[in-house]
Amino acid sequence: MWRAIVLGFSVVETLFPDRIIAWGERQAFENPNAGELRTWTMPMARLEGVLFAWLALRERESAPSIGPVLAVLGVPALLAPKRFVRTALELAYRNPDDLELKPWVVPLTRAIGLCYVVLGTVAGRVSAPAEDSRSEENTRLE
């Protein structure tokens, strides 16, 4: 089920990144029309959609583990959410100082960071026993 949800969102993000970004701006900014996107923001959103689609379509065993990536992204979002949001805005917008965040954005960034750290940590632990059992089976077969 998660695979279908991720795949659906990634297809929408790949095909219509402008709509996804506009929706996000309306949700997160008090002044959503003030943002001036950098030239690479739309292509990067499209690339993100393609990457998530690729991950959703891969078999679990052959896909690269995204657990460590989630954990690495989650730590700064958890520990320094204001700086994390500030950096993200500077990367995506030419005028980040003109954007007024809604009050819930920074606390939600911290919560998402916590989720990423937990998921990244749990993903590594959950996949480890399966890898160990496969290596034991291969050892027995030899």
| Helix ranges (DSSP H) in 29-80 | 41-57, 67-79
Polymer length in residues for the chain:
142
Higher pLDDT, 87 or 71: 87
The whole model's pTM is what? 0.76
% of the chain with per-residue pLDDT over 90: 62
Q: How many CB atoms lie within 10 A of CB 25?
A: 17
User: Residue 36: what pLDDT?
Assistant: 98
pLDDT at 106 over 80: yes
Span 20-71, pLDDT tens digits: 999 999 999 999 999 999 999 999 999 999 988 888 888 666 555 777 888 8
User: Residue 131: what pLDDT?
Assistant: 54
Calpha distance 124→59 (Å, rounded) = 16
Cβ 13 vs Cβ 43: under 8 Å = no
